[in-house]
Amino acid sequence: MFSTLCTLAKKGGNRQYQSYFQQLLSDRLRCGSSSGNLVKTKHAFLRGLLGTKHPSTLVSMNKLATVLSDQGKNEQAEEMHRRALGLKKTVLGKKHTDTLMSMNNLAIVLSDQGKYEQVEEMLQQALGLMKVGSR
């Protein structure tokens, strides 16, 4: 279904299909789908419609990683955060606010796993980029 929606949205402008997608999410929520499933659904739709490197898809990827973390799936969350961070560095740049936020989010997941040396390294990197960016 999503591949069809993505194809139609690419061919005919995406406003109509974004509206349809919002209705689909609303219907799934009323039927009792979990928020994690909704985030996965939205991420799959955005990735298909806009591509992996689109800023909206990257935001969605970060949200999905956060949901995985909230569910206690820290290894999956770490992997997703690392992918999102790598793409954000490439697409948005190292000093972009969203990239720095991804570094913070990855540090949180690493902390939850007791990987404190990696946490310190990640946060030191982010702090260094913030200092350079504020000059």
> What span, in angstroms and rounded, lies between the C-alpha atoms of 75 and 113?
8
Q: How far is CA 124 from CA 75, 90, 112, 121, in A?
A: 22, 20, 18, 5
Give which of 75, 77, 84, 12 is closest to 47, Cα–Cα: 84
User: Residue 2 above 50 pLDDT?
Assistant: no
pTM above 0.85, yes or no: no
Q: Where are the domains of the chain?
A: 52-133
What is the chain's alpha carbon radius of gyration, rounded to the nearest angstrom?
17
Q: What is the pLDDT of residue 18?
A: 57
- pLDDT averaged over every residue in the chain: 78
Give the CATH number of domain 52-133; options: 3.60.9.10, 1.10.510.10, 1.25.40.10, 3.40.50.410.
1.25.40.10
pLDDT one-digit tens code per residue, 29-79: 444 445 567 677 676 767 777 778 888 888 888 888 998 999 899 999 999
Q: What is the pLDDT of residue 32?
A: 45
